Structures are given as C-alpha cells and as structure tokens.
C-alpha cells in the first residue's frame, strides 16, 4: 500500500510540474549602467519590426499585428507614450518570434501487483495477495516550443539596452486562442521592463 501511495505521489508531482510548465517563462538582460528612468516615448524600430527566427512552421501573417498591438497596450499601461517618428522617441522596439518541434522522452517507475487464489481474501473479497513487481514506463511525445524575444534600443545612443525572451510549450489551445497567447507572452516579457533602478 505504501509503495502504491508513493507511486501516486510521483505521478501527481509530474502532473503538477507539467501544469506549471504551461505558462510562459521569461529571462531578461539589460545594460546595468543605463538610465531607464527618463524614458517617456517609444515607437517601432521599423515599419515591420518583427523578425522570424528559425522555425519549421508557417508563420501566421497576422501574428506581427497581434504582437504590435499587445506591446503597444503593455507599454502604454506602464505609462509610456507612442510617437510616430523614431527620432522623436526615447526608445524603439523590435521583436523576434520562433518555434521548434521537439521530442520529449520521460521515464518513471511503475508498479504492478499480482494475486493468486480464488474466493475471499484476507483483507476483503478477492484473491490473496502474493507480491508485486517494479519496472519503468517510458513515454515519448512531440511538442512545439514557442519563443518571443523583445529588444529595446536607445534612440539617442543608437544601441540595444534591454532584451527579454519568453518561451512556452505551445498547445493546440494556445494556437486556437492566438490573441490570448500573444497577450500572455507580452505580459510575461514586459514584466521586467523597465528594470528597477540600481538593479
């Protein structure tokens, strides 16, 4: 019984970790010496600010507009104002998207008991318990890893000053709810901008 409970706990933990992995994970890098506190205005680095990284899938042509809209809303909510001309902005924004199909192999312990005899057993109706065996179960699954990277360039100094990447295992639900997925990715990325002073 204790072994069976242990097995159930392991499976539950794996399920919990899989659920946690369903959210976007973001990493940030920036110039620690740069002063972000004076930033007030932004715009795009070009008319088409999206770069498509290595991918083995056809990129939705509407994706660029969805990301631009989400980034504009996110930056505006943080108090920044969009302007039309790069020369009038404090910083400009570009972003990169990509996805790769990958294969994941997981192995976990398995347990099976065997019984012998017929009729009422010692602990209830059924056969008498004689023992069990241990083994390993292996599962192989294919999944898609999606990525959104955002880069911010200082206009006056004409150089990159902030970079962030959000990654996530993309599900069919994510593909069907593209706008919601984009918003999640952008919110995750912009969670680290601007960086706190002195960090």
Mean pLDDT in consecutive groups of 10 residues from the start of the chain, 199 residues: 42 38 86 96 96 74 94 98 96 90 60 51 42 59 77 97 93 86 95 87
Q: Is residue 199 part of a domain?
A: no
pLDDT of 55 reads 62
Q: Is residue 64 included in any domain, yes or no?
A: yes
The domain tally of the chain equals 1
Distance of alpha carbon 28 from alpha carbon 68, whole angstroms: 20
pLDDT at position 174? 81
Tell me, rounded to whole angstroms, the distance of Cα 64 from its chain centroid: 18
95 found inside a domain: yes
Cβ burial of 55 (10 Å; 0-12, 13-18, 19+) is middle
CB count in 10 Å sphere of residue 36: 18
Model-level pTM? 0.68
What was the pLDDT predicted at 113? 53
CATH label of the domain that carries residue 151 = 3.40.50
Whether residue 146 lies inside any domain: the answer is yes
Establish if 142 belongs to a structural domain.
yes
Task: Compute the distance between CA of residue 174 and CA of residue 162 in angstroms, rounded to an integer.
Answer: 27
Q: How far apart are the first and last CA of the chain?
A: 52
Which structural domain range is residue 142 located in? 2-110+126-190
Report the alpha-carbon distance of residue 162 to residue 93 in Å, rounded: 10
Whether the CB-CB separation of 140 and 104 falls below 8 Å is answered with yes
């Amino acid at each position: 019984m204790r072994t069976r409970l242990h097995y159930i706990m392991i499976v539950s933990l794996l399920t919990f970790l899989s659920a946690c992995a369903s959210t976007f994970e973001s990493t940030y890098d920036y110039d620690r010496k740069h002063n972000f506190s004076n930033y007030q205005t932004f715009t795009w680095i070009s008319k088409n600010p999206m770069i498509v990284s290595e991918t083995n899938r056809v990129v939705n042509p509407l994706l660029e507009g969805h990301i631009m809209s989400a980034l504009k809303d996110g930056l505006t909510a943080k108090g920044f104002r969009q302007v039309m001309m790069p020369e009038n902005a404090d910083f400009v924004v570009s972003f990169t998207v990509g996805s790769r199909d990958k294969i994941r192999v997981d192995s976990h312990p398995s347990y099976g008991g065997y019984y012998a005899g017929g009729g009422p057993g010692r602990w209830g109706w059924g056969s008498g318990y004689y023992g069990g065996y241990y083994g390993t179960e292996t599962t192989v699954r294919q999944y898609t890893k999606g990525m959104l990277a955002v880069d911010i360039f200082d206009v006056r100094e004409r150089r990159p000053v902030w970079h962030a990447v959000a990654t996530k295992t993309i599900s069919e639900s994510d593909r069907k709810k593209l706008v919601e997925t984009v918003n999640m990715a952008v919110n995750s990325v912009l969670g680290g901008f601007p960086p706190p002073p002195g960090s």
